[in-house]
Amino acid sequence: MLREDRLQLLLEIVSATPVRRQDELVRLLQKKGFAVTQASVSRDLEELGVTKRRGVYRPQIHANRSTFGMLSFHPSGENLIVAKCGSGLASALAVRLDAARLDGIVGTVAGDDTVFIAVTDHKMQKQITRRLKEEFSE
């Protein structure tokens, strides 16, 4: 299985599951068919910017532009923000956004280099667009 698939799954796991120990992550990844060790999981966590907060592994929303390529956020309509990123990176960006659990974000849909971010209303659209631009700026 591909390294990118492993990293994606690791982000999904720590976004959805309260994992307290790396050996739990190793077991969960192995269960999905990935040949990993605690050392490789540790390196993956560092690369992904996953940190332990309040005893649980959680991804960070903050990332520099090189993480997702050239990144931009554009309001569209009343309830949508369109995020443009590097080719093949939209899924990872969507996972990062979902994991952040920002108030006002209803959900995300990722393509290859685009993420549609559904928000509750126009007021939240403006606030979230501003926050994302701040969080992901260099």
Q: What is the pLDDT of residue 96?
A: 85
* pLDDT tens-digit series, residues 98-135: 877 788 999 999 999 999 999 999 999 999 999 888 77
DSSP assigned state of 51? E
DSSP assigned state of 86? S
Q: Which domains does the chain have, with CATH numbers?
A: 3-59 (1.10.10.10), 65-135 (3.30.1360.40)
Q: Which amino acid is at 102?
A: L
Comparing 66 with 35, the larger pLDDT belongs to 35
Comparing 134 with 94, the larger pLDDT belongs to 94
What is d(CA 72, CA 25) in angstroms, rounded to the nearest whole number? 32
- Average per-residue pLDDT in the chain? 87
What is d(CA 120, CA 104) in angstroms, rounded to the nearest whole number? 5
